[in-house]
């Protein structure tokens, strides 16, 4: 449903390093660099953007959920995030309170955002 999403980062380079790592298992790659603004996605067009913080004061947490093709991909995302030093919010598991096939993992990115990989398919 989303065309694209952009978040503001305190340190774009640190966030780019994190997202380079955690989006790779999901098939996402860095597609465009415009100075400090970086676009990620599955070719040909980026749908997730990073940029420097240019508005507002203080931190405003965002929740970003990336779709994974299967449960193994959720685990690969989680492992890449942990390897990148992310704070673990929730290890990969089924979330029956959402629906019976909701399988997700949640971590914090370098700016403190809640980042998730989720698969909606049954095992």
Residue 6 phi, psi (nearest 5): -130, 140
Residue numbers of the domain that contains 70: 5-53+61-119
Strands 103-108 and 5-9: unpaired
CA dihedral for 56, 113, 10, 46, sign (positive or negative): negative
8-61 pLDDT, tens digit each: 999 999 999 999 999 999 999 999 999 899 999 999 999 999 999 888 888 788
Question: What pLDDT is attached to residue 3?
Answer: 83
3-class SS at 24? helix
Report d(CA 95, CA 120) in Å as an integer: 10
52-88 pLDDT, tens digit each: 988 888 878 899 999 999 999 999 999 999 999 999 9
The answer on pLDDT for 2 being more than 80 is: no
Mean pLDDT of 109-120: 95
Question: What pLDDT is attached to residue 29?
Answer: 97
Number of compact structural domains in the chain: 1
Kindly state the tokens that stand for 59: 């931190």
Question: 107: domain CATH number?
Answer: 3.10.180.10
């Amino acid at each position: 449903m989303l065309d694209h999403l952009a978040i503001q980062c305190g340190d774009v380079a640190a966030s780019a390093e994190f997202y380079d790592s955690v989006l790779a298992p999901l098939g996402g790659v860095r597609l465009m660099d415009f100075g400090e603004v970086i676009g990620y996605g599955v070719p040909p067009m980026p749908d997730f953007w990073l940029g420097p913080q240019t508005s507002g004061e203080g931190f405003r947490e965002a929740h970003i959920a990336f779709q994974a093709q299967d449960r193994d991909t959720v685990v690969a995302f989680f492992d890449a995030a942990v390897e990148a030093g992310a704070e673990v919010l929730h290890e990969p598991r089924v979330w029956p309170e959402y629906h019976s096939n909701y399988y997700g993992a949640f971590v914090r990115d370098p700016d403190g955002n809640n980042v998730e990989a989720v698969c909606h398919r049954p095992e």
